[in-house]
């Protein structure tokens, strides 16, 4: 059977709720040091096989590992890059969301950045590919994350602290290696979660960056160039997706603001093929920025379906939202996906496993209702 290739009409961002067995095994391995790594891996393997089955059973043409082996959607990838060291500090919180706070774990840059040939997520992808009959996808944090999430005082490598453009150039080179390494591992659909384009549309965050001596518009352009340079020259049969949101931790959020300041850079300067865009609340602003999507083969997946609450949207209301979106971009250049993952960290959103399944079923049902296929 020939595997359908992206872009799809029905897709999702990547992370899925962890089951109780995974949470218990991770606690016993990381906190209690009571089981060997092999035992944890066996529990994760079983959970990922179940997650793949769930995605296939609801009719999705693409599957991920649900990010089940990770604690954070981004830090687990970053901490395996050369030049990064993560530290846990004796402070109250990490990142402050609207109503919840992450653990006080912080990335620091201690030396030249590079992508190692033995990065563990290459094997994570291979496991998914070996256990599915549809298109396997892996989501990793985009290159902007490796700057935005590092405080200036935590850039311990002096050449980078003195010259951000050198850091950005080295990040592009490291990610270019990553793109090729995933391709060599069999990956033909790679997603980079570059949520900080959306963060830099928030007036409060823009002001914070200006107070740090950074022009938020320069950052947007620099982040777009990083992404472009990282994926430029990739093999013709490799598709790159990019997810943008305003924070997702235990159903809470950080940023708000329309995509307008970043839309041109995102659509026209990154070189990305598929855009997963949060659009489940008024915090994302209006649909007008979609007018900047260039005509052609690029695709937008407006996230009208939320992963933050269990209440289920209905197909008719979603169809009306796509009718509105069609005023700004060609409906043929769209598909449907939830606004974010269901479990951007191992804690997960405040929804049930059944809620999650019904949301994924709705993605498929909506795609079939609007476009006739997934």
- Do 303 and 253 contact (CB within 8 A), yes or no? no
230-233 contact pairs (CB < 8 A, 24+): 230/143, 230/171, 230/172, 230/175, 230/176, 230/178, 230/179, 231/175, 231/176, 231/179, 231/270, 231/271, 231/272, 232/176, 232/271, 233/176
209: which residues sit within 8 A by CB, 6+ positions away? Answer: 200, 215, 216, 219
Rounded to whole angstroms, the Cα distance separating 339 from 45 reads: 26
Residues 203-255 have pLDDT tens digits of 999 999 999 999 999 999 999 999 999 999 999 999 999 999 998 888 888 89
Residues 158-172 have pLDDT tens digits of 999 999 999 999 999
Is the pLDDT at 256 greater than 50? The verdict is: yes
Rounded to whole angstroms, the Cα distance separating 124 from 187 reads: 11
pLDDT, position 88: 86
Residues 16-69 have pLDDT tens digits of 999 999 999 999 999 999 999 999 999 999 999 999 999 999 999 999 999 999
- Return the C-alpha torsion angle 162, 166, 170, 173, nearest 10: 170
Q: Which domains does the chain have, with CATH numbers?
A: 20-371 (3.20.20.210)
pLDDT, position 253: 80
**Average pLDDT for residues 126-142, to the nearest whole number?**
98
**Cis omega (within 30 of 0) for bond into 51:** no
């Amino acid at each position: 059977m020939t595997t359908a290739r992206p872009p799809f009409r029905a897709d999702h961002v990547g992370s899925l709720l962890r089951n109780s067995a995974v949470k218990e095994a991770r606690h016993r391995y990381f906190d209690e040091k009571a089981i060997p790594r092999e035992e944890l891996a066996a529990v994760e393997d079983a959970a990922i096989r179940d997650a793949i089955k769930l995605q296939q059973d609801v009719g999705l043409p693409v599957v991920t590992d649900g990010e089940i082996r990770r604690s954070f959607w981004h830090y687990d990838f970053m901490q395996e890059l050369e030049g990064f060291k993560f530290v846990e500090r004796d402070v109250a919180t990490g990142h402050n969301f609207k109503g919840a706070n992450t653990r006080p774990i912080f990335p620091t840059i201690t030396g030249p950045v590079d992508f190692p040939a033995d990065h563990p997520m290459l094997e994570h992808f291979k496991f998914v590919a070996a256990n599915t009959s549809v298109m396997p996808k892996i989501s990793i944090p985009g290159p902007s994350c490796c700057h935005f999430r590092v405080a200036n005082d935590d850039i311990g490598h002096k050449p980078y602290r003195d010259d951000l453009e050198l850091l950005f150039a080295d990040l592009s080179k490291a990610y270019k290696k990553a793109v090729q390494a995933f391709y060599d591992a069999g990956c033909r659909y790679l997603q980079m979660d570059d949520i900080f384009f959306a963060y830099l549309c928030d007036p409060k965050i823009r002001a914070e960056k200006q107070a740090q001596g950074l022009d938020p518009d320069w950052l947007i352009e620099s982040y777009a160039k990083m992404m472009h340079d990282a994926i430029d020259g990739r093999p013709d049969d490799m598709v790159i997706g990019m997810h943008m949101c305003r924070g997702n931790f235990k159903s809470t959020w950080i940023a708000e603001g329309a995509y307008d300041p970043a839309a041109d850079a995102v659509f026209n300067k990154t070189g990305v093929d598929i855009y997963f865009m949060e659009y489940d609340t008024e915090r994302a602003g209006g649909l007008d920025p979609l007018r900047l999507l260039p005509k052609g083969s690029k695709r937008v997946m407006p996230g009208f379906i939320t992963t933050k609450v269990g209440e289920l949207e209905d197909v008719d209301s979603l169809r009306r939202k796509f009718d509105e979106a069609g005023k700004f971009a060609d409906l043929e250049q769209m598909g449907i996906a939830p606004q974010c993952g269901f479990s951007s960290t191992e804690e997960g959103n405040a929804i049930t496993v059944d809620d999650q399944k019904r949301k994924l079923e709705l993605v498929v049902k909506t795609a079939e209702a609007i476009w006739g296929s997934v």
